[in-house]
Structure 1
Amino acid sequence: MFYVSIFFQYASQYLKTRLTYRVDTIVEILSDLLFQAVNLIFILVVFGHTTFLSGWNREEIIFIYGFFLVPYAIFSSFFNIWDFNERYIVKGEMDRVLTRPIHSLFQIIMERMELESLFGVITGLVIMYYAGTTLGLTIAWYDVFLFLAMVIGGAFIYAGIFISLASIGSWSDSRTDIMPMMYNIGNYGRYPIDIYHRVIRYILTWILPFAFVGVYPAAYFLQKEEWYVYSFLTPVMGLVFLTISVLLWNAGVKKYRGAGN
């Protein structure tokens, strides 16, 4: 309950700050929506030249993209640590974090939250509704709980991977350029996995499991029975990768040497 209370206090202060600069907040939200629209237009352009992509039609891929946006929006809102190495290690702000009686990872997550990114959840749900209606999909009452479990699992996978990468900074005092590359690799998870070479499929499933953020969980709602096993593995993969990342973080904090020269 202590951490829950701290979370709401951080969120309250964040919202006060963002509402002070309303125009900046609106512009940022609109830019995110524009970026998502460009990606959607790309899918439409591709299907302007073909009817199926490795057995998937246009609406199914749009549905996958919509699903991907939901866990990605949660990740972007609460695990925005892409600049951890430069800000907290190189500039020494990790020293400040470690003097407080709260877990260091929790503090950094709270400091770097961007709640406006949650609008991506609404965008994703709208896209899913459009594609699902076009496809004539039906859902059962328990699908809502499966959806929440898979969304949280997908967000945890993203969080686990990027927290693990951030943990590397505790062993290195210099900048690393892994984060931007990993963001680009993550985008592969919003397209059907079987359009890639088998090596890439293996990497996106078991090493950098971004496929569990988009295509695998979405396949369940698209009634692709051949992918059901992977769909139900999504929450498990999320917990595994998040647990590994926290263990790496705790080990890295013990190795952290401070910002002294």
Structure 2
Amino acid sequence: MLAFWLRGYRLYFRMVGASIRAQMQYRYAFFMNILGWAMSYAGTAVTMWVMLSSFKALAGWTFWELIFLFALAVLSWGVCVLFFSHFRSMDQYIVNGTFDRFLIRPLHPFFHFMAMKFDVGAFGQLLFSIAAVVIAYIQLGLDWSLWKWGVFLGAVAGGVFIQSGIVVLISAIAFWTTRSERFYWVVMFPAKSMMNYPLTLYPRILQWLFIFIMPFAFVNYLPALLLLDKKHPVYSPYWGSVSLLVGILFFWICYRIWMLGLSRYKSTGS
């Protein structure tokens, strides 16, 4: 069994390497893709600056606090995109009948599909988010203790698990409906836009949803409360210290649902 898993891991990294080499064949497109993503998120930051230049603060959050909140979400999303962006189009493989090939090769179907593409365009998101976090840290005059650095790293890792889990969960819908990508755009795009701003801007029902059902709040908002010494009228900022645990648990649930869908998969025969 151990030899099987070791062989599977070696195959996984070989497939990731092949994906990267394939994308590097067109160097201009490769670098423009990275630059394009970085500029796209920079444009959102400029929009925040324009808005805050008039209002000075939004729900008690200053411009650089909002930039930190935004960049923290983008940082974990960038890692998620590296490994899981193509899960949103899994329904196309099911409809076309090409998903069958992931079931007949000596690699776990989930990891095989995961290794099919390593989206290097996400480096643009990582480039922007790391730079934004560093600049916001300096502008806000932060001086974190070792414990707070641990909270920050846990928030990034937890954010990766949470956002990846949601992508995996949405892709699993295709096992029952044969369609899932439209649901991705209906759920993920609005949710990611809402994560750019403090949770207190939204109705209580949405706050409750983003904490207890689809735990987006653990990606950036709750950890940011703790890291920036801010308060929420109801929820403790110390909840942000368990982002990693919440992320691991949530991803495991989403993965089990994906595996349940796989057990019910029937080829379309296309």
TM-score category (smaller protein): over 0.9
Rounded to whole Å, the distance in 2 between the matches of 1:149 and 1:135 is: 21
Asked if 1:252 is matched to 2:258, the reply is no
Rounded to whole Å, the distance in 2 between the matches of 1:16 and 1:178 is: 31
> What residue number does 2:3 align with?
none
Deviates more, 1:62-71 or 1:202-211: 202-211
Q: What CA deviation, in whole Å up to 9, does each residue of 1:71-109 have, x standing for no partner?
A: 0100111111111112x2111121111111211111111
Aligned counterpart in structure 2 of residue 190 of structure 1, from 187, 192, 196: 196
Q: Secondary structure at the match of 2:144?
A: coil
Cα offset for 1:257? 0.8
Pairwise CA RMSD of aligned residues?
Answer: 1.8
Decide whether aligned partners of structure 1 residues 175 and 207 sit closer, same or farther in structure 2, where only a CA change above 3 A counts: closer
Cα offset for 1:219? 2.2
- TM-score relative to the length of structure 2: 0.90
Contact conserved, 2:151 with 2:223, CA < 8 A, in 1? no
Q: Secondary structure at the match of 1:73?
A: helix
Aligned counterpart in structure 1 of residue 132 of structure 2, from 117, 127, 134: 127
Q: Secondary structure at the match of 1:157?
A: helix
> What residue number does 1:73 align with?
78
> What residue number does 1:235 align with?
244
Asked if 1:205 is matched to 2:211, the reply is yes
> What residue number does 1:5 align with?
10
Cα offset for 1:137? 0.4
Deviates more, 1:226-235 or 1:53-62: 226-235
Rounded to whole Å, the distance in 1 between the matches of 2:222 and 2:261 is: 32
Aligned counterpart in structure 2 of residue 139 of structure 1, from 141, 144, 147: 144
Rounded to whole Å, the distance in 2 between the matches of 1:140 and 1:123 is: 24
Decide whether aligned partners of structure 1 residues 233 and 141 sit closer, same or farther in structure 2, where only a CA change above 3 A counts: closer
Q: Secondary structure at the match of 2:142?
A: coil
Q: Secondary structure at the match of 1:56?
A: coil
Unaligned 5+ segments in structure 1 are: none
Match runs of 1:208-223 below 5 Å: 208-223=214-229
Between the two proteins, the alignment pairs up a number of residues equal to 260
Rounded to whole Å, the distance in 1 between the matches of 2:160 and 2:240 is: 14
| Letter paired with 1:179 | Y
Unaligned 5+ segments in structure 2 are: 1-5
Cα offset for 1:156? 0.6
| Letter paired with 2:169 | S
> What residue number does 2:51 align with?
46
Rounded to whole Å, the distance in 1 between the matches of 2:228 and 2:268 is: 51
Deviates more, 1:34-43 or 1:114-123: 114-123
Contact conserved, 2:91 with 2:181, CA < 8 A, in 1? yes
Cα offset for 1:175? 5.7
- TM-score relative to the length of structure 1: 0.93
